[in-house]
Amino acid sequence: MEVAISVRNVSKVYSNNIRALSKVSFDVYKSEIFTLLGPNGAGKTTLIRIIIGQLEPSEGEVYVLGVSGRDFLKSDVRLKVSYVPQENIIWRNLTVEENLYLIGSMYKIPRRVLKEKVKELLIDFELFEVRKRLAHKLSGGMERKLSIAMALINDPEILILDEPTAGLDPRARASMIASIEKLKKLGKTILLTTHIVEEAERLSDRVAIINYGKIIDIDAPSNLKTKTCGIEVLELLFKELNNEILSKVTSTIHEKNIARAGDKIVIKENNFNEVIENIRSNEYLSSKILALSVRKSNLEDAFLFLTGRFLRGE
Amino acid sequence: MIMAILRIMISKFKSAIRSKELYVYIIGFPLIFMLIYGSFAWALYSEIQPITIGYLNMDKECSYKIGNSTYHINYGEDFYRYLKELRYEETNVNVFKIVNVSSREEAESRVGRLEIAAAIQVPIGFSNNLTRALESFTYYSLAGILNSRAQEAYENGNYEEANKYWSALAELSEFANASFSIRINLIGDPTYSKAMQAYELCWKYLVSYVISKSKSFTNLYAEYLSKKYNISIEFSNETLSLSIEQSFQVAFHRIGGGGLKESFTKMYFAILVPGQIIQSVMMSGVSVISMIYVEIERRLIERIKLTKVSSPEYIGGVLLSWGVVALFQSTILLLSAIALGYVTLTADITYYFLSIVVIVTAGILTASFSLTVASFVRSEISNAIIMIMLITLSLIIAGYFPIPNPIIGELFGVKFAALDIAPWRRAIIALRKLLMLTSIYTPIDVLPDLLILFLWTIIYTIISFITFSLMILKKRE
């Protein structure tokens, strides 16, 4: 498969000595959706800013369509890449249409072609009705759509989306996911960052789990789940999880099969019926438990077992 | 490239004028101040009454010779008669009611008792200095004409005629290196509005007095040379151009002790209105900084770096858009000032055209300055920093208070002063000449100010281009 983005041993230490990335390496192939999954502060945005040439890595190198990160901004390859950061890239005092025309004119797209392209994007992203509205008067979801529509004005080969659904309500989030799926069908290479597992699972061809600036694992979402925690897990939620509860629940289970996140215990690869029976027969545990379920494993569980952290920081 | 700059400029301008912040900072405040100042001063200016001033003439008579004729003159006395005869336009009301005073102490005492608004003190060497000035003005008015007539005659083979003009020029040359400073003192209390009104009028009438004397002297001397050398000298008095700021001084002397506390806001509009317009243009720097930081913080700049827009296109678009914003805001303020009767309208459109050039340049200058600051300061306090810098600067340069401004150099006959490093000052001076003092200054008189304004704006623009490109647009963190 052809490589679109190649990240080789990239580390980044900021001037205040905070290490944001440590020896990160991976490839993003053409026409795939590659997701960086990690909690806030894991180094995802830093990595993206290095890829688009805004940040200099402390060591290592990045190549985008074969061009080194050092030369990225000087090279025409930059014109094949679009980037949508967490903050919506829009001019808030311009209308929806004016925003699209402005960014299009920055790519020096001929007026006639630009007119067609703007119309197409307005329709595709369901913004046609609000095209004369000032951007700051749009809802969060619409602002996000406009931001992504602007990123597509130059018909980029690679689209980099940093937390594309951050701050959106469920309806807007669903609509955004649908838009990204449409882009996938168009054969775009998409590098996505998120801390939302449902999004990563649904959209990604491959997921890189990133934690404290390190890549922990890279694989297809289904592989990541099964190889890390099996097909099913047992989830126990307590009122207030303390060491006594923990020792009573886990006394018979190997510690590598247990992960704790807040007041929650997740157990993998075990005889779940036996564990459930054990809890039910114990009066103390029964009084403390709020919920108990055997469910299919997800990327959240994979992240938890790989890092010992809960993705959403709960 | 031009299209890209224009599109960025139009978008930025649209963005700016849709920002409520812009209206509050750069139109709201100045307009409110203008109205407040105006309401204070309206009564003052609408009443046409003579201003009572004291006159202390310490001048000594001097004499000068033109050919065989010797003239004796005391310009201090002559200036007294000139002031006494002045009338408000289209009325029979005298501008001044003049009271003779015999000493500085008496002048201060009378000012202190509100008997007089201020006192003019004519210094000892006034006549002598003015004579040197008139000689110098005459030299600059006639030398060029004589030289060109001589050249013309020479080229036509009329050597005798050419010699006559050259001889006249040689005689005129004794006036070439005259050094002078035309100065009068005005004693008053600067917090007293009528004193400031008297100050403004003294400037105005001293300039017009010297211009009228200069014209008479030049005519007299031209007539003398014509007769002596049998030549014809045709020149127009209208072309007489004086570098007024460098040649004149009305020194304001504050009386000791004070005690008169009328509002300082009752200042004269010739100072106030142009100062306010340029101050408001300078305050747009706050909006420039805000918009740039929004673009940096919201990663718009990072996004722009991925497009085909080059640094010159982006910076050019930003600077031009703020030139247009300056024009937009100034138009509103100027129309308000005209509606309030602060600005005297003139039929000559050149004055307005040059005013627009000055204001747009001041807008570009402000945006350049702000971009330079934005290149180095990246934090929430940037707005406060630029506001403090620009407010302080604007007060220093607006000319509301006397501030030392030594000459630091000269280029092609144009003198550069220390405060030129804040070139908005030249914009204010130019606007005063173009909008407020149209009866005294011609558009040509504004050219040196424009030249200095342009030069400094180019320097500031180059600095902003280099710093913003290197620190923001091309820097990898």
- What is the DSSP secondary-structure string of B107-137? HHHHHHTTSSSEEEEE-TTHHHHHHHHHHHH
CA B165 – CA B149 distance, rounded (Å): 7
Banded model confidence at residue B380, pLDDT cuts 50, 70, 90? low
Residue B452: name the closest of B365, B356, B326, B339 by CA: B365
Give me the phi and psi of B48, to 5 degrees please. -100, 100
Instruction: Report the pLDDT value the prediction gives residue B26, as an integer from 0 to 100.
Output: 65
Pairing of strands A158-162, A81-84: parallel
Q: Are residues A179 and A257 in the same domain?
A: no
B239 pLDDT higher than 80? no
Q: Token pair 């390859």 is at which residue?
A: A77
Mean pLDDT of chain A: 87
- Give chain A's domain count: 2
Q: Which residues of A touch B306 (CB under 8 A)?
A: 52, 73, 78-79, 81-83
Q: Are residues A101 and A201 in the same domain?
A: yes
Position A303 in a domain: no
Nearest to B7 among A52, A89, A102 (CB): A102
Nearest to B302 among A83, A88, A102 (CB): A83
Q: Are residues A175 and A247 in the same domain?
A: no
User: How much is the average pLDDT of B124-132?
Assistant: 91
Position A240 in a domain: yes
Residue of higher predicted confidence among B115 and A191: A191
Instruction: Report the pLDDT value the prediction gives residue B43, as an integer from 0 to 100.
Output: 45
Instruction: Report the pLDDT value the prediction gives residue B127, as an integer from 0 to 100.
Output: 93
For residue A13, give its domain range: 3-220
First to last CA, chain A: 38
Q: Are residues A166 and A199 in the same domain?
A: yes
Cβ contact A303:A313 at 8 Å: no
- Which of left, alpha, beta for A221 (phi over 0: left; psi -120 to 50: alpha)? alpha
Position A308 in a domain: no
CA A259 – CA A301 distance, rounded (Å): 8
Banded model confidence at residue B264, pLDDT cuts 50, 70, 90? very low
Radius of gyration of chain A (CA): 22
Q: Are residues A100 and A208 in the same domain?
A: yes
Cβ contact B45:B269 at 8 Å: yes
B265 pLDDT higher than 80? no
Q: Are residues A55 and A182 in the same domain?
A: yes
Residue B372: name the closest of B360, B364, B380, B381 by CA: B364
Cβ contact B119:B54 at 8 Å: yes
Instruction: Report the pLDDT value the prediction gives residue A208, as an integer from 0 to 100.
Output: 93
Q: Are residues A153 and A274 in the same domain?
A: no
Buried b (16+ CB within 10 A) or exposed e, B58-82: ebeebebeeeeeeeebbbbebbbeb
Nearest to B307 among A88, A92, A106 (CB): A106
Position A173 in a domain: yes
Banded model confidence at residue B25, pLDDT cuts 50, 70, 90? low
Q: Token pair 């801390």 is at which residue?
A: A195
Q: Token pair 């005073």 is at which residue?
A: B101
Secondary structure tally for chain A: helices H, strands E? 11, 14
CATH code of A16's domain: 3.40.50.300
Instruction: Report the pLDDT value the prediction gives residue B76, as an integer from 0 to 100.
Output: 93
Q: Are residues A133 and A248 in the same domain?
A: no
Mean pLDDT of chain B: 80
A155-178: per-residue pLDDT in tens? 899 999 988 887 777 877 888 888
A216-226: per-residue pLDDT in tens? 899 999 898 88
First to last CA, chain B: 28
Task: Determine the 3-state secondary structure of A70 from DSSP.
Answer: coil
Q: Are residues A215 and A247 in the same domain?
A: no
Percent helix, strand, coil in chain A, to 5, is 40, 30, 30
Q: Are residues A215 and A272 in the same domain?
A: no
Q: What tokens appear for A35 in the block? A: 């997701």
For B233-262, the DSSP string reads ----GGG----HHHHEEEEEEEPSS-----
Q: Are residues A260 and A195 in the same domain?
A: no
Position A100 in a domain: yes
Inter-chain residue contact A55 with B476, CB threshold 8 Å: yes
Instruction: Report the pLDDT value the prediction gives residue B260, as an integer from 0 to 100.
Output: 33
Inter-chain residue contact A89 with B299, CB threshold 8 Å: yes
Cβ contact A229:A269 at 8 Å: yes
Position A123 in a domain: yes
Instruction: Report the pLDDT value the prediction gives residue B6, as an integer from 0 to 100.
Output: 82
Give me the phi and psi of A25, to 5 degrees please. -140, 135
A119 pLDDT higher than 90? yes
Banded model confidence at residue A29, pLDDT cuts 50, 70, 90? very high
B437 pLDDT higher than 70? no
Chain length of chain A: 314
Task: Determine the 3-state secondary structure of B324 from DSSP.
Answer: helix
Contacts with B424 (C-beta within 8 Å, 6 or more apart), sequence order: B278, B281, B282, B362, B365, B366, B393, B394, B397
B63 and chain A: CB distance < 8 Å anywhere? no
B98 pLDDT higher than 90? yes
Cβ contact B441:B269 at 8 Å: no
Radius of gyration of chain B (CA): 26
Ranges of each domain in chain B:
2-42+268-473, 48-254
Q: Are residues A201 and A244 in the same domain?
A: no
Taking residue B117's Cβ as centre, other Cβ atoms within 10 Å add up to 26
Taking residue A3's Cβ as centre, other Cβ atoms within 10 Å add up to 14
User: How much is the average pLDDT of B164-174?
Assistant: 91
CA B353 – CA B355 distance, rounded (Å): 5
Q: Token pair 């204070």 is at which residue?
A: B40
A36-72: per-residue pLDDT in tens? 988 888 899 899 999 988 888 999 999 999 999 888 8
Candidates A94, A108, A152, A155, partner chain B, best to mutate (most B CBs within 10 A): A108
B312 and chain A: CB distance < 8 Å anywhere? no
